[in-house]
Structure 1
C-alpha cells in the first residue's frame, strides 16, 4: 500500500474521466489513496428541478470511479454552470475543506479554460493549496477535459502541457469508465466517445514516445530534500 494521497477536483461529473481517467486508474492500481471530488451538483442549470437526472449523473459518476478502482467519491452541491455567480470565498471554503480533511500530497484540478466553472474551481484550488507552513500539498497539476480545453480560444487560457502520464496499460479502463456516462456520451466526431478519447490519448502518446498518454500542466511541485 502506497502512502501517497491524491485529491482530484472536478467541476462537473465526467471532467475527471475525460481529462485523466487513465491516470486515476494508475494511481488506484499502485495503492494510492484517491479521492475524487465533484464541486457542483452537475445538473441544476441544464436540467432544473429534475431530480431523476441529478441522481442519474451521480450514479454514473460513482460507477465510472469504481471502474477505475476508486470508491472515495464526494459529490458536492454548488450550482452547476453558475459557480462564477457565487462569492469566491464560498467556493474556496468547500475546496479548502476537502484539502484539510483529506490531507493530499498531490492535487489535480480541472484546467481553467473556456468553462467558467472550471476557472472558478481552479482559482479556489490555487487558494486552498497555497504553499504556507504546514501545507500537505506538494504538487498541483491541471488536467484538460476534452470538449472544453481544446475549444478555448487563445489567448484566454494557457494550456502548454509539461507533464505526461503513460496510460498505455489503463486506456481501456478509461474508455470503459466513460461508457457509464450515458448522459454525456456524444457521437463521433464530438470529443466525448470511445473513438475520440482513444485518438486523443494516442496523439499525446506520440508527443512523448508511448502508445497512449494524458497531458497535464505542473502548476507547482515542491521536492523534499
Structure 2
C-alpha cells in the first residue's frame, strides 16, 4: 500500500493499547508495504487506577504488540493517566515535536478530538499544535482514529462524533491486530463490553462491509497534502 512515499509513519496515542485498538490493522499494513512505523505513547497508563503499579506489564505488552504488527519499539512517556489536562499543552506538544524531529514522519495518526477520555483530547490537541503547517514541515497528512470505549461514548449532539472519511482495508492484517490485542489481555473486557475482542473484530468487519470489503479501519482526514 503506497501513501505519499515509503516514508516513516508516526502513531501518537495516549495509552498503551490505544494504538492497536485505533489503527493496529493499518499499522501492520503500512509495515508490510515498507513503511517504518513508530509509536509514541504518552501516559504511564496506570497512575489513575486503584491497583496502580509501575506500568512495566503494560510496557511489556506494548513491545509485544509492536512486534506483532511490525512497528518499532514504542517510545514511552510518563504523563499522568487520565490527568493530562493538568499538564500545560505546550509541554505535551514539545514531546510530540521532539518525536517528529527525530522520526521525520510524513503521516501522523492520533486520537479523535471528540473522544470521551480527556487524555485522548489533550493528545489530539498536542498533535495538531506540533504539526502546525509551517514551510518545510515534514508532516503532510494527519489522520484521527477512534478508540473503543471512548469514541463511541462521546456526546454526539455536540459535533464530537467520529465520522470516518478514509477507510483502510485490513482484511489481510486483521488477524495480527487481534493477536496484538491479545498481548493486551489485561486491558480487554468480556462481551458485551465495546472493548472486547469480539466487539473489536465485529466493528472491523462492519466498517469494512460499509465500503465493500471484508474488514477495514476508518479514519478522519484532518489534513492531507499531496
Q: What is the TM-score normalised by the length of structure 1? A: 0.94
Pick aligned residue for 1:221 from 204, 209, 224 = 224
Correspondences of 1:97-112 after superposition (within 5 Å): 97-112=98-113
Matched, 1:66 2:85: no
Please say if residues 16 and 110 of structure 1, whose CA atoms lie closer than 8 Å, have aligned partners that are also in contact: no
Matched, 1:174 2:177: yes
How far 1:49 sits from its partner (Å)?
Answer: 5.6
CA distance in 2, matches of 1:186, 1:48: 17
Q: What is the TM-score normalised by the length of structure 2? A: 0.94
How far 1:48 sits from its partner (Å)?
Answer: 6.6
CA distance in 2, matches of 1:71, 1:119: 25
Deviates further, 103-112 or 189-198? 189-198
What SS is found at the alignment partner of 2:187?
coil
Please say if residues 151 and 161 of structure 2, whose CA atoms lie closer than 8 Å, have aligned partners that are also in contact: no
Deviations 1:76-116 (A, max 9, x none): 11111110011111111111111111110000011121111
How far 1:66 sits from its partner (Å)?
Answer: 0.7
How far 1:193 sits from its partner (Å)?
Answer: 2.5
CA distance in 1, matches of 2:163, 2:52: 39
CA distance in 2, matches of 1:222, 1:49: 42
How far 1:59 sits from its partner (Å)?
Answer: 0.4
Map of 2:152 onto structure 1:
150
CA distance in 2, matches of 1:91, 1:139: 20
Matched, 1:32 2:35: yes
What SS is found at the alignment partner of 1:72?
coil
What SS is found at the alignment partner of 1:16?
helix
- Segments of 5+ residues of structure 1 without an aligned counterpart are none
Map of 1:118 onto structure 2:
120
How far 1:47 sits from its partner (Å)?
Answer: 4.6
What SS is found at the alignment partner of 1:214?
strand
Q: For this pair of structures, how many residues does the alignment match? A: 220
CA distance in 2, matches of 1:137, 1:155: 31
Deviations 1:129-151 (A, max 9, x none): 11101100000000101111011
What SS is found at the alignment partner of 2:157?
coil
Deviates further, 210-219 or 108-117? 108-117
